[in-house]
Amino acid sequence: MKFKVQSSKFKGSSKPQAQNAQPRTQGWSFLGNLSFELGASAAWLLIAFLIVGLPAAGQIVITSSPSGSIIINQGGGRLIIQGGIVIQGGQVISGTVDPQLLLMMSQPPIDTNQAVAIAEFDPPTVAAGTRTTYRIVITALEDMIELPEKLPAPAGLKLEAGGKGQGLQNLGGIIQARSTFNFRAQPAAPGTLVMPAFKANVNGRAVTIPEARLTVLPAGSPLPPVPRLTLEMPTNDIYIGQSVPARLVMNDTGDNAVLALTQAHVEGKGLLTERGISRMSRPVMTRDGRPMMPISTEVLVTPMREGPLVVVGQANVVLRTLDPNRYAAMPGYYPLIDTDPLTVTVRRVPKEGELPGYTGAIGSFVLEPLQLSANTVQAGDPVKLQVIIRGEGNFGRFTPPMPAPDPDWQVFPPTAEASPGSQAPGQGFAAFTYTLIPLSERVTSTPLIPFSVFDPERKAHKRHTIPPVNLTVTPASGVVARRVAEAPHMNPDDPGSDEKAPVMAGLMKESGASFGSLVPLQQRGWFLALQLAPAAMLAGLWLWDLRRRFLAAHPDLVRKRRGRRALVRERRRVRHALRASDANRFVTHAVRALRAAAAPHTAANPDALVARDVMRELPAGTNGTDAACVRRLFAAADAERITQRSEGLSVLELKADFERVAGKLEERLWT
């Protein structure tokens, strides 16, 4: 549904659409924030509209009279609202008015009938190449003003858009809006520059911006000092969401021309100035080697966007003297001044190292001792835990941390005792109160609340965990007792369920035994290889025992082995005797060799064998030469042993025969 507003003068409205002196008709959407848009008068319209009822058909025409009455024509009916009274058909139908609406009605209207403009250079005289401000002030709301896209600047004058602002001044029964547009001007050459008059569109009307003159002296010319505003704030290592102090310093020219700064703030895309939080002082400072007492105002700004931001400080300056002629139409006007632009670099809070319980707190904080409303509480009854955090930081920009869900606790979101959004620069604290309800008498302390902050000084996250507070919970009764009984029991193996709050142990002075690796031994190759050593040892023992048993069962093998060893030994000695041509030794060792080779077959002592015994062990088919050799060797040995008589070197001729016989006997030892 739509209705029309016809007004010749719509007092009290704050929107430009209602400022037109000519009667006009404009469509409005009924739904939405109608009363907010139209202000107090619109609220009355709404009341009257509701009183009349929602006419189903016909167009409603609303007009306002010069006397301040609001007339609603709806079909054949007519409703008049005058002085807070609703009149229909000549009769008062409603005299009851909401006090809030009365308060709204009592506010003086904004004067939009006259739009007066002033233009000036501040200061009006500068040296070539230095900066001045071209200021335009118009008595209208800022949204109603449309300046030309490009101002008609004279040649040799460079203009750049600067700060702009709007103020309201109560002139007694009417409010005058004043909008200021600053442009940074920089003349190039000496002379007199004239900024010509031009037209600006103010709420559909053409308003003349008067001309302004700038006297430009040669560069380096001495000029009286002028008040200048400077912005001081950190330009690096600031983070999104951080409350950064910015200082606006107004230098004093020495004549106390500047009395104060008002509405100081910092403008910039992606930057938020904490309104209402500022601190003005007159510190003693040294500039260019000279002591001075400038006016300093600190404000808090919060960057909301990453990257480089161009910021400008602005403030209205209260001057001791102001040109009464120029500002005759604007009594009580405080010129808006701004600083040179400053570029700051904003970063994101790093995700690296972010700790549990980080809710956007940036700064340096200290957790004060916790305060619990009661030390003993019945299960099911609430207890309040107050947490106070002090320090420097963005108290109004982070949310209180919440503990992890715990079946033994019901935790309500914390409330701030003072609005966390309000922060005085020197105060620096935030107080939260948690309402906790223990659901079990098993708990002995309040739940631990993880909380961490980002410290911009250290560029690192820091832990400020809200520790548990000891609490005695008595058993509940009734419904609560049943709920406590139904609460899930905590795992006794879980260390976190222990009654005592855990604490961190400090550094260990002793390193303890060192290990080569963290890998368990059974997964290391050398350890598995080491297991082969005892296995091999035991296996060797076992095999040795087996062989020993085998040899015990077969003694002929042992004798033959011994025989082979003795035969080898004696044959070596025989060869030595032959090389030395020692017949006696040859005979002796040759006989011993023959006996050793023949003895294993008869299980006899080798020394007990005679030539016949040896010949019997010769293989079948042996010729007589072999036997003769054996007999002769034994005979020679007997002769030497019994008669001490040697056969001489002739016995050495048996060398070849002996080797043949010994070879045959050796072959038998291997079978």
Partner 1 sequence: MDLKRVVVALAFVMPIAQAVAAEQIRGAAEAYAAGDYAYAAMQFRERASHSPSTGVFHNLGNAEWNAGRTGPAILAWERAQWLDPASTNAQANLRFGRFTAQIEAPRLKWFEVASTWLPVHAWPWIASASLWLAVSALVIPTVFRWRKRDWHQAFAAASFAVFLATLPALLGVHTRSKLGVVLADKTALRLTPTREAQSTVTLRAGESARVERERGNYVFVRINGDAAGWVERERLGVVAAR
Name the residues that contact partner 1, by CB under 8 A: 351, 353-356, 404, 448, 450, 452, 460-463, 465, 494-496, 498, 501-523, 527, 530-531, 534-535, 538, 541-542, 544-545
Q: Which two tokens stand for residue 624?
A: 């007589």
CA atoms within 13 A on the CB side of 463: 9
Residue 141: CB atoms within 10 A of its CB come to 21
Strands 2-7 and 60-64: parallel
Taking a C-beta distance cutoff of 8 angstroms, is the pair 637, 589 a contact?
no
Q: 28 by DSSP, 3-state: which?
A: strand
Identify which of 305, 323, 301, 304 has the alpha carbon closest to the alpha carbon of residue 314. Answer: 301
For partner 1, the closer CB: 517 or 644: 517
DSSP 8-state class, residue 241: T
CA atoms within 13 A on the CB side of 108: 13
For partner 1, the closer CB: 36 or 542: 542
Residues 6+ apart with CB under 8 A from 510: none
Q: How far is the CB of 39 from partner 1 (least distance, A)?
A: 49
For partner 1, the closer CB: 355 or 437: 355
For partner 1, the closer CB: 356 or 421: 356
Q: How far is the CB of 368 from partner 1 (least distance, A)?
A: 19
DSSP labels, 87-128 = EETTEEEE----HHHHHHHHSPPEE-S---EEEEEESSEEET
What are the phi and psi torsion angles at 46 (to 5°)?
Answer: -65, -40
Q: How far is the CB of 449 from partner 1 (least distance, A)?
A: 10
For partner 1, the closer CB: 406 or 626: 406
Q: What whole-number distance in Å separates Cα of residue 300 and Cα of residue 285?
A: 21
Taking a C-beta distance cutoff of 8 angstroms, is the pair 180, 209 a contact?
no
For partner 1, the closer CB: 185 or 362: 362
DSSP 8-state class, residue 479: H
For partner 1, the closer CB: 545 or 556: 545
Q: Which two tokens stand for residue 365?
A: 């904080």
Q: What whole-number distance in Å separates Cα of residue 144 and Cα of residue 633?
A: 150
Q: How far is the CB of 561 from partner 1 (least distance, A)?
A: 22
Q: How far is the CB of 493 from partner 1 (least distance, A)?
A: 8
CB crowding 359-377: b at 16 or more within 10 Å, else e: eebbbebeeeebebeeeeb
Q: How far is the CB of 353 from partner 1 (least distance, A)?
A: 5
What are the phi and psi torsion angles at 144 (to 5°)?
Answer: -90, -10
For partner 1, the closer CB: 534 or 621: 534
Q: How far is the CB of 503 from partner 1 (least distance, A)?
A: 6
Q: Which two tokens stand for residue 375?
A: 């030390």
For partner 1, the closer CB: 85 or 541: 541
Using a 10 angstrom Cβ sphere, with 0-12 exposed, 13-18 middle and 19 or more buried, the burial of residue 528 is exposed
Q: What whole-number distance in Å separates Cα of residue 514 and Cα of residue 434?
A: 48
Q: What whole-number distance in Å separates Cα of residue 404 and Cα of residue 357?
A: 9
Residue 240: CB atoms within 10 A of its CB come to 18
Q: How far is the CB of 535 from partner 1 (least distance, A)?
A: 8
For partner 1, the closer CB: 520 or 621: 520
Taking a C-beta distance cutoff of 8 angstroms, is the pair 244, 425 a contact?
no
Q: How far is the CB of 508 from partner 1 (least distance, A)?
A: 4
Q: How far is the CB of 487 from partner 1 (least distance, A)?
A: 19
Q: How far is the CB of 651 from partner 1 (least distance, A)?
A: 50
Q: How far is the CB of 509 from partner 1 (least distance, A)?
A: 8
Q: How far is the CB of 525 from partner 1 (least distance, A)?
A: 12
- The owner of tokens 């030794």 is 585
Identify which of 623, 573, 563 has the alpha carbon closest to the alpha carbon of residue 594. Answer: 563
First-last CA distance in the chain: 129
Q: What whole-number distance in Å separates Cα of residue 414 and Cα of residue 419?
A: 12
What are the phi and psi torsion angles at 654 (to 5°)?
Answer: -80, 10
Q: How far is the CB of 530 from partner 1 (least distance, A)?
A: 8
For partner 1, the closer CB: 184 or 464: 464
Identify which of 158, 160, 164, 258 has the alpha carbon closest to the alpha carbon of residue 216. Answer: 158
Angstrom distances, CA of residue 594 to CA of 555, 560, 565, 610:
20, 13, 12, 10
Q: Which two tokens stand for residue 461?
A: 């996250």
Using a 10 angstrom Cβ sphere, with 0-12 exposed, 13-18 middle and 19 or more buried, the burial of residue 275 is exposed
For partner 1, the closer CB: 515 or 670: 515
For partner 1, the closer CB: 284 or 505: 505
What are the phi and psi torsion angles at 413 (to 5°)?
Answer: -55, 140
For partner 1, the closer CB: 30 or 544: 544
For partner 1, the closer CB: 160 or 498: 498
For partner 1, the closer CB: 237 or 545: 545
Q: How far is the CB of 534 from partner 1 (least distance, A)?
A: 4
For partner 1, the closer CB: 148 or 502: 502
Q: How far is the CB of 431 from partner 1 (least distance, A)?
A: 23
Q: What whole-number distance in Å separates Cα of residue 53 and Cα of residue 75?
A: 12
Q: What whole-number distance in Å separates Cα of residue 178 and Cα of residue 333?
A: 8
Q: How far is the CB of 512 from partner 1 (least distance, A)?
A: 4
